[in-house]
Amino acid sequence: MDIVVERSAEGVMTIALNRPEKKNAITAAMYQTMADALADAQEDAAVRAILIRGGAQVFSAGNDLEDFMKSPPSGEDAPVLQFLRRISRAEKPIVASVVGVAVGIGTTLLLHCDLVYAAESATFSLPFSQLGLCPEAASSLLLPRIAGYPLAAEKLLLGEAFDAQEAHRMGIVNRLLPAGEVDAFAYAQALKLTALPAASLRVTKALMKRANGQEIADRMKEEIVHFGKMLLAPEAREAMMAFFQKRKPDFRQFG
């Protein structure tokens, strides 16, 4: 299974990306499974905290571009949009464990998690501009607020990879640990949350997030309109062809 969902007796739902042969690149079917799991977590009183993790070598290489081009998101019910709505509106605390690379949505989904722990060797990137696209998951709103405009502009405009130490300085990551310790530490933090009063956590999270809630929803809608148009534009086609042909794209031909 490309997504493994497990529930512990203590009340942790773990959503694990499990497609190592494709570096945990996310397909529409995987988004649907994760969206459904988050919906189940919301309704299940036995689930008191959610843990999202990748594998021992990689968190996620972002969207599976081949699957993405075959089935681009269209309409409010697109699996990726369902997933983004549910992770951004989740009432229960979400912990993330990041080992290896976190590309595109592999990084932007972290902006909606409450606690993020990463390996000291992890790397992050937001290569939307390099693909002829624009940010998603309200990252154009959240990243400048978390990291400040200059750093957010550098990451979103250039799209270059950055290391875990910089992700920590930017405020994307709470704490860095040796790669072999991240999953266990993140799970232990999730367990701590399950032992606390659920109502207290729910209200505290809601109070912290309330000011941004409608803005996030509005920004996601605005981003996806631009994203959909840009996905059909010549720049994105050139970027995708270059990716599959293993060459450098040439954007100089476009105005």
CA-closest candidate to residue 35, choices 69, 78, 94, 71: 78
The SS3 of residue 72 is coil
Q: For residues 40 and 15, give the distance between their C-alpha atoms in angstroms, rounded to a whole number.
A: 12
| pLDDT (tens place) for every residue of the chain, 255 residues total | 999 999 999 999 999 999 999 999 999 999 999 999 999 999 999 999 999 999 989 999 999 988 888 888 877 899 999 999 999 999 999 999 999 999 999 999 999 999 999 999 999 999 999 999 999 999 999 999 999 999 999 999 999 999 999 999 999 999 999 999 999 999 999 999 999 999 999 999 999 998 788 999 999 999 999 988 998 899 999 998 898 898 999 998 886
Residues 104, 65: contact at Cβ < 8 Å? no
Residues 95, 182: contact at Cβ < 8 Å? no
Question: Can you read off the two tokens belonging to residue 85?
Answer: 């709505």
State how beta strands 115-119 and 94-98 pair: parallel
In this prediction the pTM is 0.96
Annotation: CATH topology of 1-179+197-255: 2-enoyl-CoA Hydratase; Chain A, domain 1 (3.90.226)
Q: Cα–Cα distances in Å, from 99 out to 16, 27, 52, 57, 63?
A: 12, 20, 11, 6, 17
The SS3 of residue 29 is helix
